Structure 1
Amino acid sequence: MKTNIKFHKSFTLAIATLGILNSCAEFENREMFVDKPQSIIDQETRDSYEVLKKYIDYSTQPNFKLGAEINIADIQNNTLLYRLLNTHFNEYSITLGALNHNTNVLTDGTINTEAIDNALSKNDTTPRFIHAGHLVWHENQQDGYLNKLIANVILPGISGIDNVVDFEKDAVGTSYPTNVNNATAKVALDPIATGNSGKVLHILKNPSTVFPQFKITLPAGRKLAYYKNVTIDFKGDGCCGFYGSGMRMAITENYGNPNLTGYGSPQSFGIPINAWGRGMMILPIANLNLTPAQKELNTFVLTIGSQTGAPDYMIDNIKMNWEIPGQTIVKTPEEKKEIITNEMDKWLKSIGETGKNRINSWSVVYQPMDNNNPSLLRGNPSGAALPANTFYWQDFLGKDYAAIAINKIKQYSNQSDKIYITETNLDEYPDKIDGLKDFIAYTEQKGAKVDGIATEFALSFDSDKSKVENALSKLASTGKLIKISALDIGIGVNITSATPSFYVQQAEMYKWFVKVYNSNIPANQRGGITFRSPVDQLTSSTWRPNEPIGIFTNRNGYQRKPAYIGVIEAFQNK
């Protein structure tokens, strides 16, 4: 059978092999070794180093902090990244969005710092130094709210009708003054009352002409300049007012016999003879050519009636139409400055009190200097339309804006906190350092001490090293603490395309930068180096997405990269 044949063949082979082994004079036990991949050996070497912060000598540089940018959500959720940074760094930097004005200030001006407070509360249990900012910036501002506060006040036009005389409260027989003697203008019952009126004024004189007069006081806040016309109800017979020389009107300060301005006859207004023409007779006030002084009157005498030789007619419901035009109340620069100062106070009070005894240093003002005119502040002096969420505080507070901001954050936080002004792109715009130096001198003359200058470097393999060294040298000449508040070095490709040689070059670049920082910045001026992203960027990141810019990977438990050793060797001056 096939199965048995296979078995016997195998058994015979086993016996033969055993015989060969037994025939040897001495048995030799050989172990088999498989070489480790070089990548694993390299990783084990990197892992054998101490945590990063232990390689810093603080004895000669007491202000130096080894920092890492962190999201407040990582602090609050005690993430693996947060625990990694706890192990390797002694300062957190909270500057990427968490303390932006429009992140914490709502559209109605309400300030909500609950997220920051919660994160800082978590950090209270294992405290680290914290650098925070950027408090006063031109980007990421709640610009809609701020601009609304300083906008000119636009008052819309309003209009209406005042019924200045209607006789309803008068007793029958009550007399009103007239412009001449021997005439009567008395309140009477309306002979054909229709519900619009119960009492009217009966004007009677024979054979001469007469005009009744009314002392009128307008509602508070209104003046004759706002009034457009006088409307009057009229009823007259053909013999005694309906016909004649037409209606007449005058406005004076006192009673008397004024010159009257002529208008059309009652018939010309479409009023039927011997019947009420209610609301039909409208007499424009503009025809009176009032003087500027008269237009300011609130109380005056109205003389009005029909020019006829034998007056015998009735009038009722004297009304005046008014219109207050819309106007724009322009806010002065002084008013705008006061408003924006108060808003800055409210904003920095909220942040300062939240960070009190938790935050140790602040980037109070961010990017103050203009790239094209480095001796001047950034701003929008032309008043041109700005991108969304953009607001220049300095346009309203002037050059004092940094001093105002610094003094307020010191007022609400701790006097011992370090104060930085942060400027960027100093390798490309080194003249900004001179402008910044002058600006800091001005700010300190205003009583606001600036401890240091913070700056950022986003470098690559092809970055001009001479420009970087020049910027660091010029920064050192200011005599201030110099803090690298955001450092990252890219390799020009994404994570999936990176080769070991790229990582070696990145390590050399990190090593070079740390060494050149130490060689250019005196020990007593070193404020520290903060890694913008200690771990490689995720695909979803807004800054250099999917680029391996960190000294740790962003996967497999955040493994140390060659750059980790490069940084250590720089601190060891190797």
Structure 2
Amino acid sequence: MNRINKRIGYSLLAGILLSSCAKHEMLDYFAEKPESVIAQEDIDSYAPLISYLDKDANPSFKWGVALNMDDYLNKGVMYRLVNRNFEEMVMGYEMKHSSIVQADGSLNLSKLERLVAAAKENNMALFGHTLTWHSGQNATYLNSLIAPIVIPGSGGPSLDPSVIANTDFETDISGWSGWGNSSTHEQSANGEGYDNIGHALKITNPSPVNSWEAQLAYDFTNQLEEGSTYVLSLKIKGSKAGPIGAGFQNPANYSGQGDYPALAITNEWKEIKLSTIISGPNAKRFLVNFGTFDGSIWIDDITIRREDPNGGSNGPSEGGYALKLTNPTVVNAWEAQTVHDLTGMENNTEYILKVAAKGSKTGNISFDLQSTADYQGNGFGAITLTTDYKEYELKLTTTALRNRFIINHGQYDGITYIDNISLTKAGSNTNLLTNGDFENGISPWGGWGNNSTRSHSAQGEGYGGPGGSIIEKTPEEKKSIITDALETFIAGMLSVTKDYVKAWDVVNEPMSDWPDQYALKTGVGKAELAEDEFYWQDYLGKDYAVQAIQFARQYGNPEDILFINDYGLEGAGNKCKGLIAYVDYVESKGVTVDGIGTQMHIDINTNKDNIINMYELLAATGKLIKVSELDIGLGDGIKTPNATAEMYQKQAEMYKFVIEKYFEIIPKAQQYGITVWSPLDSPDNQYSFWRRGEPIGIWSETFVRKPAYQAVAEALEKQK
């Protein structure tokens, strides 16, 4: 056993200076050291965990840990703990889609580049997590790519003349300029205009970068009117399918003053019409951001016109007042909230929310019911706003008494209009939200956060009823657009990591929990999607993992180790068998899955026979096997204040069991490694999103080693 030898003793300091000659006598007194102190000293005498691995016996095995990126980059206590005890790390969140993909579809990879550099500096392996998942996605952006096309109804609004002079490019491209990434902007040859007639503006970008690193610009003589709606109309095609961005800018300080929803282009000419509201002063520049699109784009017949609010309505009609919510910057959803306190709510009861809403751009907001006593709640889920009013209906069933209704709009940076909002108990017509039509102001609605404003909008901005029409994109169009979005993300991630990151969770949590554990998860029919939920498989089909692995091979290294990872494989059902069957299916399509990850978020009461059965099934695949997200709770949601010494001992025994059985059952050639998902106990505060308040770690929340530390050290040593 690799231990730190300590000699522990006690002494009594008795040197007291006296001014007299009185004799000093030592008292014959001895106190037993408490057993708890002795036990902790024994645990603390163990060496760092990594020292217990026999790397000569199994040089490929990785002992890993999950953490937050800032905890490593800030080089604090967690940084030192990780470097001393582990040899591989994985980011819990910051390498996922929603952390990287910005509102306009561009990729913010600068922080990831810093992480790679820091890992290299400490010779710390970095495991990639994750390239394709249904959660942790920038769903607002992805949904905007496949949003329906809004068709104006008859009697639509009158529009001012276009603020762009050179709209059809039949003579030249004067007025248009651009920069970045060796991009070119030119007038295409005769016959390359819309329907191959006349001329078009052609822009070409040789390689993907951040969206703003390749731009096309048109400057106006006069600034656009703040608060007014401007309609962009154009005909466009690309050398391939993909999204680009467009919007307005203040050229004096480069601040954005209103972005259009993403322009989803294909390799065929299509007409696009979009609206946005000018959100700030000195909007004198129109920009097309195409840095993430590597290829050529043709634009023809482009106009930008101010919508005359007195000229009719486009889509649903407007009338009366609405609640107007303004949020200047994207933050966490709960950091900008609008609330209405409630009375008369009931537990275990279904409630129905109805609302009419629109926004200054496409994006998501969500709704919750909450208890103000402990801030726990139930979520209705998110809605996707468009620039026209739409009616929404959401439902939930309470799991405790709730007394507050919440609108979460922190992740929507724009203006939201809410009208005709009602909350009713199922079977009742009584609206529990007073002043739901805002015809008499906004009382009793209030809120907080992020310098957000709430106001009673002007007469005529309320919802006046349905109207207009929309055209949904076909399944084939959606598949093409979403495939391109997946490729853009994977290519961007691997562009900054491939020289150092050699292993990835390419597909995370594909399998359904119930009723068919051989089927893929799906968002179809799910009433309440979270703000970050987007099911790639619903658009790309069962081969979505095949496509993701192909992209990972294409943009990564040929020898990269690619995993499919899931949770609950140690359960009593067929999920482990279902995942293995899906891996077989994926490989039947001509790609290779190198490994299978089993997360193992378990507790001290988890059935040990089921764990053994899972290991045996996984070992039989011949694949590399990784315990990818190991943490162990005390069962029944027990939190730290209620934990006992006996529970901690059982937790230690379970950690030891999981690790020892891995080494015993998984053949050495298939042992990729084990990653501890939560090295510390989970804090009990509003910022804790994983097993909140549960003592699941090897260390306490204050970095004190627990009995589990000793058990893990002893289990790792048995690897020999």
TM-score range, shorter chain: 0.5 to 0.7
Q: Hey, what does 1:561 align to over in structure 2? A: 706
Q: CA deviation at 1:52?
A: 0.8
Check conservation: 1:369, 1:377, Cα contact below 8 A.
yes
Q: CA deviation at 1:363?
A: 0.7
Q: Hey, what does 2:654 align to over in structure 1? A: 509
Q: How does 1:412-423 map to 2 (within 5 A)?
A: 412-423=555-566
The C-alpha deviation readout for 1:6-38, integer Å capped at 9, x for no partner, is xxxx99x96xx89xx9xxxxxxx9986554333
The question of 1:54 aligning with 2:199 is answered no
Q: Please tell me the residue identity of whatever aligns with 1:358.
A: Y
CA distance in 2, matches of 1:383, 1:37: 55
Q: Hey, what does 1:85 align to over in structure 2? A: 82
Q: Hey, what does 2:101 align to over in structure 1? A: 105
Q: Please tell me the residue identity of whatever aligns with 2:616.
A: S
Q: 1:395 to 1:429 in 2, by over 3 A?
A: farther
CA distance in 1, matches of 2:475, 2:118: 43
Q: 1:474 to 1:430 in 2, by over 3 A?
A: farther
CA distance in 1, matches of 2:651, 2:488: 44
Q: CA deviation at 1:441?
A: 2.2
Q: Please tell me the residue identity of whatever aligns with 1:504.
A: Q
CA distance in 2, matches of 1:30, 1:381: 79
Q: Hey, what does 1:572 align to over in structure 2? A: 717
Q: 1:379 to 1:546 in 2, by over 3 A?
A: closer
Q: Hey, what does 1:357 align to over in structure 2? A: 499
Q: 1:406 to 1:43 in 2, by over 3 A?
A: same
Q: CA deviation at 1:514?
A: 1.1
Q: Secondary structure at the match of 2:545?
A: helix
Check conservation: 1:60, 1:523, Cα contact below 8 A.
no
The question of 1:445 aligning with 2:442 is answered no
CA distance in 2, matches of 1:30, 1:386: 72
Q: 1:58 to 1:39 in 2, by over 3 A?
A: same
Q: 1:142 to 1:60 in 2, by over 3 A?
A: same
Q: Hey, what does 1:268 align to over in structure 2? A: none
Q: CA deviation at 1:345?
A: 0.8
CA-based RMSD of the aligned residues comes to 2.9
CA distance in 2, matches of 1:68, 1:385: 32
The range that moved more, 151-160 or 118-127, is 151-160
Q: Please tell me the residue identity of whatever aligns with 1:149.
A: L
Of 468, 483, 495, the residue aligned with 2:626 is: 483
Q: How does 1:114-153 map to 2 (within 5 A)?
A: 114-153=110-149
Of 686, 690, 693, the residue aligned with 1:543 is: 690
CA distance in 1, matches of 2:95, 2:60: 23
Of 527, 534, 538, the residue aligned with 2:672 is: 527
CA distance in 2, matches of 1:331, 1:539: 45
Check conservation: 2:89, 2:124, Cα contact below 8 A.
yes
Q: CA deviation at 1:528?
A: 1.1
The C-alpha deviation readout for 1:221-260, integer Å capped at 9, x for no partner, is xxxxxxxxxxxxxxxxxxxxxxxxxxxxxxxxxxxxxxxx
CA distance in 1, matches of 2:634, 2:519: 34
State, as a whole percentage, how many aligned pairs show the same letter: 39
Q: How does 1:370-385 map to 2 (within 5 A)?
A: 370-371=512-513, 372-381=515-524
Q: Please tell me the residue identity of whatever aligns with 1:441.
A: D
Q: 1:429 to 1:142 in 2, by over 3 A?
A: farther
Q: CA deviation at 1:404?
A: 1.3
Aligned residues: 386
TM-score under structure 1 length normalisation: 0.62
Q: How does 1:289-300 map to 2 (within 5 A)?
A: none
Q: Hey, what does 1:333 align to over in structure 2? A: 475
TM-score under structure 2 length normalisation: 0.50
CA distance in 2, matches of 1:499, 1:62: 38
Structure 1's unaligned 5+ residue stretches are 1-9, 22-28, 161-324
The C-alpha deviation readout for 1:453-501, integer Å capped at 9, x for no partner, is 1111122222221222222221212211111111111224333333333
Q: Secondary structure at the match of 2:142?
A: helix
CA distance in 1, matches of 2:697, 2:469: 59
Q: CA deviation at 1:452?
A: 0.5
Question: More strand by proportion, 1 or 2?
Answer: 2
Check conservation: 1:62, 1:524, Cα contact below 8 A.
no
Q: CA deviation at 1:49?
A: 2.2
Q: 1:565 to 1:404 in 2, by over 3 A?
A: same
Q: CA deviation at 1:71?
A: 0.7
Q: Secondary structure at the match of 1:399?
A: coil
Q: Hey, what does 2:606 align to over in structure 1? A: 463
CA distance in 2, matches of 1:434, 1:34: 58
Q: Please tell me the residue identity of whatever aligns with 2:594.
A: D
The question of 1:67 aligning with 2:214 is answered no
